[in-house]
Amino acid sequence: MSEPGSRFWSFSLAVYSGSGVQAECLDLQDRYGIDVNLLLFCAYIGAAYGAVLPDTALHEARDLVDAWHQEIVRKLRDARRALKPAAAASHIGASAAELRSTVKAAELEAERIEQTMLEEWSAERLKAWPRAEPETAVAANIQNLFALNGDAARPSEMPTHLVAAALFAARTWCG
């Protein structure tokens, strides 16, 4: 596995901290079940490389991380969310808050591992994917992810803050 300081992970941390990005990503996750790591991957591949993910590649990427995401990432997220009310309870609050913090750190590490899986998988395939202008590639990749997720999310719900932050990150330090 790659080191924690991988290019995709660094990109994701920079982009996710951008104004409005977290809210957009979490909204798409909560409303439509979009895997935020796949969403960030679509943005990364498009912004950093101008690569457009073919449908088959996006299916492969999802299949690669799906079990990990469902069985590890989501379960840790569910546990962290379930601990939130307990952390506020006066009789167990401090202990539950500490446990919630530990689970949150484990969830973040699980997200990093998922991104490492995607980054290593894409390294072998990246050169074969078609190219476009980064803005076009990011939008195409995200629209394809929406389509892969079913008809729930629509292209009109393009996460504009994410797209802008991804393009900015790619221009300032990826390229």
What is the model's pLDDT at position 2?
A: 41
Q: Which of 92, 74, 91, 72 is nearest to 83 (CA)?
A: 92
**Measured CA angle at 68 (ends 143, 97), to 5 deg:** 105
What is the model's pLDDT at position 155?
A: 60
Residue numbers of the domain that contains 152? 7-174
What is the model's pLDDT at position 154?
A: 66
Q: Which residue's entry shows tokens 């997220």? A: 77
Does residue 141 lie within any of the structural domains? yes
Q: Are 33 and 149 in contact (CB under 8 A)?
A: yes
What is the model's pLDDT at position 130?
A: 98
Mean pLDDT by 10 residues, the chain (175 residues): 71 96 95 94 98 97 97 97 86 88 97 97 96 97 91 74 96 71
How many separate domains does the chain show?
A: 1
Residue type, 107: E
**Measured CA angle at 114 (ends 72, 175), to 5 deg:** 160
Q: Are 77 and 107 in contact (CB under 8 A)?
A: yes
CA atoms in the 13 A half-sphere facing the CB of 110: 22
Does residue 1 lie within any of the structural domains? no
What is the model's pLDDT at position 157?
A: 81
What is the model's pLDDT at position 1?
A: 39
Does residue 58 lie within any of the structural domains? yes
Give φ, ψ of 32 to 5 degrees.
Answer: -125, 0
Does residue 2 lie within any of the structural domains? no
Does residue 18 lie within any of the structural domains? yes
Does residue 110 lie within any of the structural domains? yes
pTM for the whole structure: 0.91
Distance between CA atoms of 38 and 69, rounded to whole angstroms? 10
